Amino acid sequence: EDKVVQSPLSLVVHEGDTVTLNCSYEVTNFRSLLWYKQEKKAPTFLFMLTSSGIEKKSGRLSSILDKKELFSILNITATQTGDSAVYLCAVEAWSNYQLIWGAGTKLIIKP
Amino acid sequence: EPEVTQTPSHQVTQMGQEVILRCVPISNHLYFYWYRQILGQKVEFLVSFYNNEISEKSEIFDDQFSVERPDGSNFTLKIRSTKLEDSAMYFCASRGTVNQPQHFGDGTRLSIL
């Protein structure tokens, strides 16, 4: 059965810290891995990763995929209170284009 | 920036009633999706829709559920004979091509009493 596992499930850090969120997967016919940020409502898109070893960056956020070891990490540097959210990892398969979701990492940034 | 919009934001319905959840995908997007998230649980795929027909559906999406694109802008999810366990947040998503990420609406919180 396809699955996506995120760790840690929750994380509390202080403003200014750097955090690393993990996502491992076992998905047949892997196509892409996506990171979303969910605050109160809609998951908002962060990154879409399809190739191994190529880092994607957006401001203080970056992400990389390892297709050999079947995982991805999401890094956030110089964290701010506005980074507090649930970060969701989802994997898409070639076979059906469905998104298979992890349980999310709840990140809390303390001032 | 274009957004996926969903209405209503919160729907309260008596068990056994029918509900219709509405979504307006991003204009010129071609692929549409419904997901649900039961409180405290993972997001779950329900159905995908392309070219006016269902392309994939999960085990959750049984005969109780149906989707429709009645006009060029709306994409609806109908749930018949609602049950208590249908209570969840329902998200609509759309994308332009399969090479683009899905963009999500704010969701409809469905509460079945």
What is residue A95's predicted lDDT score, i.e. its pLDDT? 75
A88 → closest Cβ in B43, B100, B101: B43
Interface touch B101/A45, C-beta < 8 Å: yes
**Other Cβ atoms closer than 10 A to A69:** 9
Mutation site, B5, B45, B94, B99, interface A, largest A CB count within 10 A: B45
Section A80-96 average pLDDT:
92
Residues recorded for chain A: 111
Contacts of A93 (CB under 8 A, 6+ apart): A2, A27, A28, A29, A30, A31, A100
Interface touch A101/B42, C-beta < 8 Å: yes
Query: Mean pLDDT, chain A, as a whole number?
Result: 94
Residue B1 has pLDDT above 80, yes or no: no
Residue A3 has pLDDT above 80, yes or no: yes
Calculate how close chain A gets to B15, using CA atoms only, in Å: 25
What is residue A42's predicted lDDT score, i.e. its pLDDT? 86
Interface touch B101/A88, C-beta < 8 Å: no
In chain B, % of residues over pLDDT 70: 100
Q: Please give the torsion angle defined by the CA atoms of residues A38, A39, A45 and A46, in that order, rounded to the nearest 10 degrees.
A: -100
In chain A, % of residues over pLDDT 90: 85
What is residue B38's predicted lDDT score, i.e. its pLDDT? 94
What band does A97 get if pLDDT is binned at 50, 70 and 90? confident
What is residue B109's predicted lDDT score, i.e. its pLDDT? 97
Q: How far apart are CA B66 and CA B45, in angstroms?
A: 14
The residues of B whose Cβ lies within 8 A of any Cβ of A are: 4, 31, 33, 35, 41-45, 48, 55-56, 58, 91, 98, 100-107
> Tell me: the pLDDT tens digits for B33-68?
999 999 989 999 999 999 999 999 999 999 999 999
Interface touch A45/B102, C-beta < 8 Å: yes
**Other Cβ atoms closer than 10 A to B79:** 21
What is residue A66's predicted lDDT score, i.e. its pLDDT? 96
Mutation site, B26, B61, B104, B108, interface A, largest A CB count within 10 A: B104
In chain B, % of residues over pLDDT 90: 89
> A14 is written with which tokens?
């202080």
Contacts of A5 (CB under 8 A, 6+ apart): A23, A24, A25, A102, A103
